[in-house]
Amino acid sequence: MSDDIRAERVKKLETLKAHGIDPYPAESHRTHENGAFLKSFDSFLHSHEQITLAGRIMSLRDQGGIIFVDLFDGTARVQALIKKDEVGEDSFELFMEAVGISDFVEVAGSAFTTKRGMNSLLGKSWRMLSKSLRQVPDEWFGLKDEDERYRKRYLDILLNPEVAEIIKKRSTFWNAIRAFMLERDFLEVETPVLETKTGGAEARPFTTHHKALDMETYLRISTELWHKKLMVGGVPKVFEIGRVFRNEGMSFEHAQDYTHFEFYEAYQDARKGVPMIIELYRTVAEKTFGTLQFKIGDFDVDLGKEWGSYDFNDLMQKQYGFDPRAVDLQTVRARLDIENISYEPNADIGRGVDLLWKKIRKTIGGPAILTGIPVYLEPLAKKSAKDARVVDRFQILIGGSELGKAFNELNNPLDQRERFEKQQSLRDAGDDEAQMADFEYVEAMEYGMPPIFGFGVSERLFSFLLGKSIREAQLFPLMRPKV
């Protein structure tokens, strides 16, 4: 928008002031939402009740002594008629002189049906609520550039009904999860975002400085360790929906800060709990999208069918010819080279095996449960009673990606200490995604921790079911500032 156009709008603002009108009053006199007005229009038409509607002017059409105004308040659009012989000549002329598209106004009047049968509001008076200094782009063209859409997300929401619907679905999604957990007597908790050590996942953290305590702190990458400390404290069933932060790459399914859901239940076994997770996915999908059938990438996914099951080691052995539970680093690196998969020079067996696994994972549409994860890939899960080389981790596979993990949580403090020490050695060797050794957490475990069933899933699930990138599914994705 040119400076001349903005200057012209500032002049209109001054015109309002010259007429003794506050361009930004503190209150509105609106009596009904636009959606409610349209829903009960016939009743209002017969009662001749005086109504005041408000909203942003999305379009404005001057036809001589009548101005047709489309008002949008977030619930619906309503056409309002500003007629010179209804509002008076002075008020009509002021409207013509000082009001424009994008302004917020309220119109008082009564229900009225136009000759073309449009349910409308016939104005008796109007009032400025907020004078805009910039005009919203033409809604027929809107914002086409993706960078500009994300940078000016507020305009994208206003002009693109699909984006506005994403916001509603996103709210429904998280509230469906919350309702599901509360109905099962889980306690919703809120745990610290700033930490002195990060734990609960393998990820590079964001670092910041705590001025008051003069120390380095981190934005959390998970809520897991806090929740399990609550288990030590005798709280048996908890969940949290909150923001986590991982200083890693950006992709269709990866963001650096996103909403994450975790729950933990004491005295429960994940094998018995997995059916509850399947029920959770089906319930949330039905409430949010009204269906259990989705098109995710090249996959047709039906959450309502019987979920499949896979063993990690069987898949890897079939694809690459080695058993991940007993493989050496040389074999892993040789296979990475054959598959033309790049890796860091200091990549250990775990990092290499994970890179190879991701290639297989992309071919699985699901829904399915993956088991048999080697111990070195999961520092916080209990070892399997049947095979101590693997852990009791149950991974949800949907649309070629991991969309949730369930665990029988590790509650042996000696085992946990050993795994933390292994992770710390990886960090000391230069792997800044390895977990930090949190021996205060180990100390908490030493007071006794019950058997625990844990589960976590991020908003990636929402974006996949929506069929959009995770950035598109977020309200305000992070953008680099304009130079």
| 325 within a domain of the structure (yes/no) | no
345: left (phi over 0), alpha (psi -120 to 50) or beta: alpha
How many angstroms separate the CA atoms of 180 and 184, rounded?
7
Is 422 a domain residue?
yes
Q: Are 105 and 195 within one domain?
A: no
| Claim to verify: residue 178 and residue 243 sit in the same structural domain | yes
CA torsion angle 450 453 459 464 (round to 10) = 170
Find, among 67, 91, 97, the residue nearest to 79 by Cα: 67
Shared domain check, 266 and 187: yes
Residues of 347-374 as b/e, b for ≥16 C-beta within 10 angstroms? bbbbbbbbbbbeebbeebbbbebbbbbb
Claim to verify: residue 84 and residue 161 sit in the same structural domain? no
Q: Give domain status of residue 316, yes or no.
A: no
Cα(457)–Cα(237) distance, integer angstroms? 17
What is the pLDDT at residue 382? 85
The reply to whether 89 falls in a domain is yes
Strands (E), 144-276: 187-188, 194-195, 207-210, 215-219, 237-245, 257-266
Query: For the chain, how big is the Rg over CA atoms in Å?
Result: 29
Side-chain half-sphere exposure of 175, counting CA atoms within 13 A:
8
Domain shared by 169 and 230, yes or no:
yes
CATH of residue 77's domain is 2.40.50.140
Helix axes 312-320, 349-361, angle to 10 degrees: 90
245, 219 Cβ separation under 8 angstroms: yes
Rounded Cα distance, 247 and 433, in Å: 9
Pick from 149, 146, 156, 129: which is nearest to 53 by CA? 129
pLDDT in tens, the chain (483 residues): 567 888 999 999 999 999 999 999 999 999 999 999 999 999 999 999 999 999 999 999 998 889 999 999 999 999 999 999 999 999 999 999 999 999 999 999 999 999 889 999 999 999 999 999 998 887 656 667 778 888 888 898 898 889 999 999 999 999 999 999 999 999 999 999 999 888 777 788 899 999 999 999 999 999 999 999 999 999 999 999 999 999 888 888 888 899 999 999 999 988 889 999 999 999 999 999 999 999 999 999 999 999 999 999 999 999 999 999 999 999 999 999 999 998 888 888 889 999 999 999 999 998 999 999 998 888 778 888 899 999 989 999 999 999 999 988 989 999 889 888 888 888 877 777 777 788 899 999 999 999 999 999 999 999 999 999 999 999 998 888 887
Name the residue among 99, 100, 95, 122 with its Cα closest to residue 111: 122
Name the domain count of the chain: 2
- Residue pair 453/408 in contact (Cβ under 8 Å)? The answer is yes
On whether both 191 and 52 belong to a single domain, the answer is no
Range of the domain at 303: 157-307+366-466
* Residues 173 and 300 placed together within one structural domain of the fold: yes
In a domain, 260, yes or no: yes
Distance, CA of 423 to CA of 469 (rounded, Å): 32
**Paired strand residues for 51:** 109
Residue 315 contacts by C-beta under 8 Å, 6 or more apart in sequence?
A: 357, 360
Pairing, β 368-371 against β 393-398: antiparallel
Query: Could you identify the residue written with the tokens 């990866």?
Result: 254
What is the enclosing helix (H) or strand (E) of 268?
A: none
Please report the pLDDT score of residue 263 as a whole number: 96
Encoded tokens for 147: 């960078």
Strand partners, 371: 311
DSSP state of 114: -
Could you tell me if residue 342 is inside a domain?
Answer: no
DSSP 8-state class, residue 377? G
On whether both 9 and 109 belong to a single domain, the answer is yes
Residue 319 maps to a domain: no
Distance CA 142, CA 140 (A): 6
What is the pLDDT, as a whole number, of residue 143?
Answer: 66
Q: Check whether residue 292 and residue 424 sit in a common domain.
A: yes
Residue 93: enclosing H or E segment and its boundaries? Answer: helix 89-98
The answer on 117 and 38 residing in a single domain is yes
Do residues 81 and 161 share a domain? no
CATH number assigned to the domain comprising residue 191: 3.30.930.10
Among 91, 109, 102, 123, CA closest to 21 = 91
Q: Length of the chain in residues, anyone?
A: 483
Tokens representing 268?
């429960």
The single-letter DSSP state of residue 95 is H
* CA neighbor of 448 nearest in space, from 276, 299, 229: 229
CB 352 within 8 A of CB 426: no
Residue 116 sits in the same domain as residue 201 = no
